[in-house]
Structures are given as C-alpha cells and as structure tokens.
Amino acid sequence: MNANHDRLSTLLWSLAVLVLFLAVWQWGPALVGAPDYVLPNLSKVCLEAVRIWGSERLLWHAGITAAEVLIGFILGSVLGALMGYALGLSPRVEAVLSPYLLALQIAPKVAFAPLFVMWMGYTMYPKILVAVLIVFFPVLINVLSAMRTMDVDMINLARSFSATRFQVFRNVEYPTTMPALFSGLRIASTLAVIGVVVGELVGGNMGLGYLLVFFEGQGNTAAVFVVIAALTVIGIAAYYAVVMVERRVLHYLPSSERRSA
C-alpha cells in the first residue's frame, strides 16, 4: 500500500513539474520581453509543429532518424558486448588491444563523421557508423569491468565440478555481467541519438538532423524547438525500451539492485 502511495505521489509531483515548465514556457518569454526569433512561446511552437508535420514531412524524417538510431544502437551494442566478453576472457588479448581501443575512444567521434560522409556519401550509413562508434565504448567498458570484478570463488567452484570453459562462461560469467551490460545499454540508448544527429548535421539530406540545419538556416526558432522535441521523444523511447527489456530479463533481481548496477 505504501509503495503504491509513494509511486502515485512521485507521479503527481512529476506532472506538477511538467505543468509548471509548460506554463513558464508559455508566458515566460512575454514577461521577460524575449522576441519570437529568440524564444517563441509554447503555443507558437505547437502551431509550427502542426505546420511542418505535413509541409516538411516531419514524421518521415523522424522515422529515418529513429531507424538509424535503432540500427546503430543494435550494432554498436552487439560489437561492444562481444569485445568486452572477449577481452575479459583473455587478459593477454586485452593487454595487446587496449592501447588501440583507448586511442579510438579518445579520438573525437565528431571528427569521423565528415570522413564517413566522404567515403559513403549522403546516405544512412555514415550516421549509423557514427552511432556505432559512440555506442560501442559504454557497452564495452561496462561488460569488461564486470568481467574484471568477477567472483573468482564462483568460477573455481564451477571448475571443481569439472565445468568446461564454455559452461563457466554460460552459467557464471555471462549471467553475472548482465546487470552491468544493461547499465551500459541504458547509457548507449541515449548516446545513439547523439551519434545519429551528429552524422546528420555534418552531411545529410534526410532525418531530423537535416531538418535542424534547414530550419536554423531559415532562422525559424520555433521549428528548431519542434525538431529538438522530436529528438527528445526518440531518445526517451529508446531509453525506456531498454528499461522494459531489462525488467523482463533481470526480473529475478530486486529493483534497487537493477538501478544500482
């Protein structure tokens, strides 16, 4: 009963903060004398959203960006997880590859976007590759850190029962690293949106990043806010999709332990 009451109270406070934010956005610009080209109020942004929904094919561009985010997130997460497990299973391979992975991590991902566009043209592939690069490292680091901090006693216990190397990985190492993996996936789900938008800003003729550049060139501040809101919705949807999958996969863990992972 107390848990339901706390959940309802949290929801009501969240709605109150949202209503307050929208009210400030609606009447705040006029109170401080901000012109529309600097900060349009909420009603003007909503009217602009209705206009560009049809005239600028907002939904189509949002679908392109969402598809690029999904593909980049899946590819980057799979590669990051596989590399994290591989490095965790072989310390020697980790020692050999760590300097190169560190150099690739330090290199600014934005700098790769123009290079990918030069190689692949104004297609979806450069945006997906930038997203893969950005998603790859949070997943890799989380999985590798979990592998490094593995309970050695559990591994030794499994080996004492004549478990093979694959059985140790499947029954001990892989389940133990799942909370850390999903922690990295939550971070990666939002970073995938950033990676795709960076690619679309650098070079593209479709997607929300393209619309962002297009409306910025027109000086249409209200439309820019609409595109930012659409990107936010995609990021929130990606994040909570990962959370829902995490709850199903890690249902055996207490919710507090899942959050702290």
DSSP class per residue in the chain: -HHHHHHHHHHHHHHHHHHHHHHHHHHHHHHHT--TTT---HHHHHHHHHHHHHHS-HHHHHHHHHHHHHHHHHHHHHHHHHHHHHHHH-HHHHHHHHHHHHHHHHS-HHHHHHHHHHHH-SSHHHHHHHHHHHHHHHHHHHHHHHHHT--HHHHHHHHHTT--HHHHIIIIIHHHHHHHHHHHHHHHHHHHHHHHHHHHHHS-SSSHHHHHHHHHHHT-HHHHHHHHHHHHHHHHHHHHHHHHHHHHHTTTS-HHHHHH-
Q: Output the pLDDT for position 216.
A: 87
- For residue range 50-82, list pLDDT tens digits in order: 888 878 788 999 999 999 999 999 999 999 999
Q: Is residue 170 part of a domain?
A: yes
Q: Is residue 18 part of a domain?
A: no
| CATH number, residue 183 | 1.10.3720.10
Check pLDDT > 80 for residue 165.
Answer: no
* pLDDT band at 124; cut points 50, 70, 90: confident
* pLDDT band at 1; cut points 50, 70, 90: low
Q: Is residue 21 part of a domain?
A: no
| Burial (CB count <10 Å: 0-12, 13-18, 19+), residue 55 | exposed
- Closest by CA to 116, choosing from 209, 195, 227, is 195
Q: Is residue 23 part of a domain?
A: no
What is the length of the chain? 261
Check pLDDT > 80 for residue 15.
Answer: yes
Q: Is residue 6 part of a domain?
A: no
Q: Is residue 247 part of a domain?
A: yes
Q: Is residue 50 part of a domain?
A: yes
Check pLDDT > 50 for residue 256.
Answer: no
Residue numbers of the domain that contains 63: 40-260
Measured CA to CA, the distance from residue 108 to residue 254 in angstroms comes to: 38
- The model's pTM: 0.84
Per the structure, the count of domains in the chain is 1
- Whether the CB-CB separation of 178 and 250 falls below 8 Å is answered with yes
- For residue range 84-111, list pLDDT tens digits in order: 888 887 878 878 888 888 887 788 877 8
Higher pLDDT, 154 or 206: 206
- Closest by CA to 212, choosing from 202, 44, 117, 246, is 202
CA distances for 99 relative to 72, 91, 132, 158, angstroms? 24, 13, 20, 33
- Whether the CB-CB separation of 68 and 131 falls below 8 Å is answered with yes
- For residue range 22-56, list pLDDT tens digits in order: 898 889 888 888 887 888 888 988 998 888 887 87
Q: Is residue 14 part of a domain?
A: no
Q: Output the pLDDT for position 240.
A: 93
